[in-house]
Amino acid sequence: MVLVYIDHEDQQIKSSSLEAMSYGAALAKQLGVTAEALVLGTTPATLSDLGKQGATKVHHIAVDTLNYLDVKVNSTVIAEAATQLNATVVIFAHNINGKALAPAVAVKLKAGLVTGASSLPQTDNGFIVTKTVFSGKAFASVKIATPIKVIAINQNCYGIHATDNVAEVIPMSFNIPSPSVKMTLVEKVKGELPLTEASLVVSGGRGLKGPENWGILLDLAKELGAATACSRPVSDSDWRPHHEHVGQTGIQIAPNLYIAIGISGAIQHLAGVNRSKTIVVINKDPEAPFFKAADYGVVGDAFEVVPTLTAALKKSK
């Protein structure tokens, strides 16, 4: 059986976990077994809807203390559930929580681990998983030879595939270890689409010259229904909040569309966004390194190009 860990936040299942469920269902079909989901904590989400991504069953451990990530506790619970359910493959999304949980679960299960998987495993001759390496600049093929296998898949590498299935929700219960961390306060940015969940992202760099000019970027993002981001120099200069910083030292994202405005494209920035499906670069410097990674590029002054693009979007609506 393939078991998929389902991540949820703010009363909703994360899109990266829906993709992991679709991936797990495809792998289960390949292996001739069932795909089942595991949900920890309480959530009002309709868990039977996970059948739409291929789950036949959803195992739910509805304990409030599991809502907040405690790696020691949650990994113990996931490993115990995988053992009870006789899972041979455990799937995670390679997001912030998955990066912490997958290695810990692999250790507890004595399982081979591949993080950052970019495609379905090859199972004709063994179990070989392709993953990205060197900040997405190359690929490696890794063979897992252990009886139990743990995989964490990259965001937007497989997609979310809908079916007409309805999953059976099955409560699970066993002794939960005492948490080693006590959650006393949670502060979240309100009213913004999380960058890791956004399919469209508009990002700005030092080419916008100052925070007073950010309005043209915000207008474009509003018309597109996109999240906003920035390069590290922008957040370091306090032009934009640090939670918008994308790159190797910030948030790593893989949206369907990434529009970079006034960003030169240093290697550290590229490492955090190069898994985007489509990259559009707007920069007045034709020698900007970002153009080499772009699918589409506009050489021009952002203060002329961006308002024109926004106006065209408004007109098209």
pTM as predicted: 0.88
Give the CA dihedral 64, 68, 71, 74, nearest 10 degrees: 30
CA dist., res. 270 & res. 240, Å (int): 19
Sequence-distant (6+) residues with CB within 8 A of 308 are: none
Mean pLDDT, range 274-296, rounded to an integer: 95
The 10s digit of each residue's pLDDT in 96-140 is 999 999 999 999 999 999 999 999 999 999 999 999 888 777 899
Structure tokens at 199: 């399919």
Amino acid at the residue 305:
V
> Which residues on adjacent β-strands are paired with residue 282?
261, 298
Q: Which domains does the chain have, with CATH numbers?
A: 2-171 (3.40.50.620), 195-316 (3.40.50.1220)
Mean pLDDT, range 212-228, rounded to an integer: 96
Stretch among 190-199, 207-216, 230-239 having the lowest mean pLDDT:
190-199
The model's confidence at residue 191, banded by pLDDT at 50, 70 and 90, is low
The model's confidence at residue 196, banded by pLDDT at 50, 70 and 90, is confident
Sequence-distant (6+) residues with CB within 8 A of 45 are: 8, 11, 12, 13
The 10s digit of each residue's pLDDT in 59-105 is 999 998 898 889 999 999 999 999 999 999 999 999 999 999 999 99
Distance of CA 305 to CAs 87, 259, 293, 299, 313, Å?
53, 12, 20, 9, 12
